[in-house]
């Protein structure tokens, strides 16, 4: 191959011979700020002609609970079929099996791949240097860097919280500059391509008057031998640099049942990008229709909510009857639109209380496949669990919140909209001095059945007020499994840690189904080498 051709770095070591055929080795991934593995899951799931198209060489996550989830998933990828011990654990629960004793080689490989380290520290830098040298020594040149630096300092919510801290110093907040660690690895690895994900607030974030996004763009383009940047959700245009808005990917436009808008930057090494045929420049195709909440979680087993204190079926029934009575009385507090229709839904909830109590608060198996979901997404979400589900367990709520959840869900079913603060009857309004200020308009938000959910965030770990189930008979917030499904994690994906930690992991992750589509979209870049 001519040394000046764009694929000059693809050497014979990148290929193997199998049964007389030349096979290309999987693309090696370095995954930074991995979380529970949403990006890595999407990339690892893409199949080539006879083997996975991508393979994670190393993934790094500092949070212990998220790292445990990440390591477990790395372990499971070592098997063509999920181990029987894992499927039994999904069904029965309890302590995790001793994976090191059952499958010592695969467990050691997973431990080596998924590292619990903090990027920006010396141990993490040393480990990455070691792994990059191993990749170089193997002759592998088909490499990819993925990851999303923590977003708290960029997000609008995070910036609002910081603004209320008198001593907050944006210049001293290292989270504003963790992208620099990503750039450092990009410089050192020099991969064919990279994918960086972050919150949309990154576009407007600034430190001492300097726009963070402009700094990020400058540093990414200048890394290594230089990179060309592309927005995946817009038509590629080699005649100009993309605008900031070109990097915004709206997950609901790509088959994810969630209105999640994120900045996703694709970079392709300039020596390769400048020679790419137009057909090889990646872009994400839009889905023909959006996927709704009801399509995604409506066929999961119905569950009753719980009480935050002294829960029992009888106590919950009494609390629900009281909540229904509060809502019924509140409908007369002031002129509530559609009050008669809301009363009819309320009566149905009361009539089905016995049936709802019998459902219990948890379930380990789901109903048949959803006939409403697009077939490909349904297969993806089902995973290889054979109908088993985990983490489908409700949390407890305060009796006063049960009445608010009940009103909100009934209102949403009747009107097709989640009620804003001004729509709440006075007697159901929480005792917040600022309740009527407009700051709490969406304090109680129903995830509407007929459209994608709002963005699943880590705030779901604090309370369920923003994530109320659309079915008023269940009167509860979303379970971890329901949130995970809306994030497009397969049903066989187990999140470790306590429930709060599980919610945080789900909320902070990249939707794997979106990552899967990104991984497929950039394959032609590697095929062109």
Interval 315-326: pLDDT, tens: 999 999 999 999
Pair of tokens at residue 384: 């290889």
Q: Which residue in 419, 350, 34 sits closest to 195, CA to CA?
A: 34
DSSP state at residue 427: G
Would you say residue 195 has pLDDT above 50? yes
Q: Give the integer Cα–Cα distance in Å for 505 and 67.
A: 10
Distance CA 166, CA 415 (A): 42
pLDDT of 156: 43
pLDDT at 175: 47
Query: What's the rounded mean pLDDT across residues 513-522?
Result: 98
Average pLDDT score, the chain: 89
Q: Which residue has the higher pLDDT, 7 or 341?
A: 341
Percent of the chain predicted with pLDDT > 90: 73
Distance from the Cα of residue 122 to its chain's centroid? 29
For 268-280, how does the pLDDT look when each residue is reduced to its tens digit (9 = 90+)?
999 999 999 888 9
**Calpha distance 250→167 (Å, rounded):** 35
Q: Are strands 21-24 and 143-147 parallel, antiparallel or unpaired?
A: unpaired
Output the CA–CA distances (angstroms, integers) from residue 491 to 5, 215, 229, 297, 494, in the order listed: 44, 39, 34, 11, 8
> Whole-angstrom distance between the N-terminal and C-terminal Cα of the chain?
10
Catalytic residue among 151, 289, 359, 475: 151
pTM to 2 decimal places: 0.91
Could you report the per-residue pLDDT of 91-107, keeping only the tens digit for each? 999 999 999 999 999 99
Res 471: pLDDT: 97
Active site annotation includes 475: no
Residue 440 pLDDT level (bands cut at 50, 70, 90): low
pLDDT value of residue 433: 67
518 against 441, higher pLDDT: 518
**Local structure of 184: helix, strand or coil:** helix
Mean pLDDT of 406-416: 96
% residues pLDDT > 70 (the chain): 87
**Residue of higher predicted confidence among 372 and 171:** 372
E strands of 433-489, at which residues? Answer: none
**Per-residue model confidence as pLDDT tens digits over 421-437:** 888 888 888 877 667 66
CA–CA gap between residue 493 and residue 441 (Å, rounded): 34
Domain boundaries, the chain: 12-291+510-527, 293-508
The token pair at 315 is: 């106590």
Read off the tokens for 470: 């659309």
Contact 424, 327 (CB under 8 A): no
pLDDT of 150: 80
Binning pLDDT at 50, 70 and 90, where does residue 152 land? low
DSSP of 202-262, one letter per residue?
GGT-EETTEEHHHHHHHHHHHSTT-EEEEETTS---TTSPPPGGGGEEEGGGGT-SB--EE
d(CA 25, CA 46): 13
**Residue written as tokens 């839009």?**
286
* Least confident span in 298-302, 339-343, 428-432, 490-494: 428-432
Q: Does residue 37 sit in helix, strand or coil?
A: coil
The pLDDT, as a whole number, for residue 98 is 98
212-250 per-position pLDDT tens digit: 888 899 999 999 999 999 999 888 777 778 899 999 999
User: What are φ and ψ of residue 121, in 5° steps?
Assistant: -100, 160
Q: Which residue bears the tokens 């709704």?
A: 292
pLDDT (tens digit, 9 = 90+) per residue, 10-66? 444 555 544 444 456 899 999 999 999 999 999 999 999 889 999 999 999 999 999
Residues 50 and 17: beta-carbon distance below 8 Å: no
Mean pLDDT of the region 305-313: 95
Among 31-35, 149-153, 401-405, the least confident range:
149-153
pLDDT at residue 528 tops 80: yes
Is residue 370 within 8 Å of 294, Cβ to Cβ? no
Q: Which fold has domain 12-291+510-527?
A: Rossmann fold (3.40.50)
Q: Outline where 238-396 has alpha helix (H).
A: 270-273, 293-297, 313-330, 339-351, 353-359, 375-382
Confidence bin at 255 (pLDDT 50/70/90):
very high
> Which SS3 state, helix, strand or coil, does residue 32 take?
strand
Q: 337 is written with which tokens?
A: 């639109």
Contacts of 350 (CB under 8 A, 6+ apart): 320, 321, 324
**Mean of the pLDDT values across residues 473-485?**
98
Whole-number CA gyration radius for the chain: 25
């Amino acid at each position: 191959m001519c040394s000046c051709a764009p694929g000059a770095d693809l050497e014979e070591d990148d290929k193997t011979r199998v049964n007389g055929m030349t096979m290309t080795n999987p693309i090696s991934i370095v995954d930074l700020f991995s979380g529970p593995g949403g990006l890595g899951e999407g990339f690892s799931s893409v199949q080539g002609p006879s083997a996975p198209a991508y393979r994670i060489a190393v993934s790094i996550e500092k949070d212990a609970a998220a790292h445990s989830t990440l390591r477990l998933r790395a372990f499971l990828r070592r098997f063509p079929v999920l181990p029987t011990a894992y499927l039994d654990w999904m069904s029965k629960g309890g302590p995790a099996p001793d994976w090191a004793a059952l499958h010592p080689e695969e467990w050691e490989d997973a431990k080596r791949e998924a590292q619990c380290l903090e990027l920006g520290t010396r141990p993490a830098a040393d480990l990455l240097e070691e792994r990059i040298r191993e990749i170089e020594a193997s002759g592998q040149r088909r490499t990819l860097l993925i990851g999303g630096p923590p977003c708290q300092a960029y997000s609008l919510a995070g910036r609002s919280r910081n603004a209320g801290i008198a001593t907050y110093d944006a210049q001293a907040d290292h989270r504003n500059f963790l992208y620099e660690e990503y750039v450092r690895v990009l410089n050192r690895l020099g991969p064919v391509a990279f994918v960086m994900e972050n919150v949309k607030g990154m576009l407007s974030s600034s430190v001492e008057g300097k726009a963070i996004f402009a700094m990020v763009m400058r540093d990414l383009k200048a890394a290594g031998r230089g990179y060309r940047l592309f927005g995946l959700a817009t038509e590629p245009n080699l005649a100009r640099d993309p605008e900031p808005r070109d990097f915004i990917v709206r997950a609901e436009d790509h088959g994810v049942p969630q209105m999640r808008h994120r900045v996703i930057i694709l970079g392709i090494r300039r020596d390769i990008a400048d020679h790419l045929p137009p057909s090889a420049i990646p872009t994400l195709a839009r889905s023909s229709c959006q996927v709704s909440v009801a399509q995604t979680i409506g066929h999961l087993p119905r569950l009753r909510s719980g009480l935050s204190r002294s829960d029992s079926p009888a106590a919950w029934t009494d609390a629900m009857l009281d909540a229904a009575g509060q809502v019924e009385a509140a409908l007369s507090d002031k002129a509530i639109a559609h009050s008669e229709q809301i009363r009819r839904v309320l009566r149905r909830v009361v009539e089905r209380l016995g049936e709802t109590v019998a459902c219990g608060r948890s379930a380990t198996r789901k109903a048949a496949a959803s006939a409403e979901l697009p077939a490909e997404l349904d297969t993806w979400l089902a995973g290889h669990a054979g109908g088993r589900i985990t983490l489908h367990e409700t949390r407890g709520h305060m009796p006063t919140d049960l009445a608010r959840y009940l009103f909100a869900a009934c209102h949403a079913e009747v009107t097709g909209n989640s009620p804003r603060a001004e729509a709440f009857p006075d007697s159901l309004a929480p005792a917040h001095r600022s309740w009527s200020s407009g700051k709490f308009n969406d304090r109680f938000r129903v995830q509407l059945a007929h459209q994608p959910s709002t963005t699943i965030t880590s705030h779901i770990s604090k309370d369920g007020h923003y994530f109320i189930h659309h079915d008023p008979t269940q009167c509860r917030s979303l379970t971890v499994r329901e949130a995970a499904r809306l994030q497009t994690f397969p049903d066989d994906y187990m999140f470790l840690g306590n429930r709060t930690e599980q919610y945080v992991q789900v909320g902070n992750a990249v939707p794997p189904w979106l990552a899967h589509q990104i991984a497929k979209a950039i394959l032609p870049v590697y095929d062109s080498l």
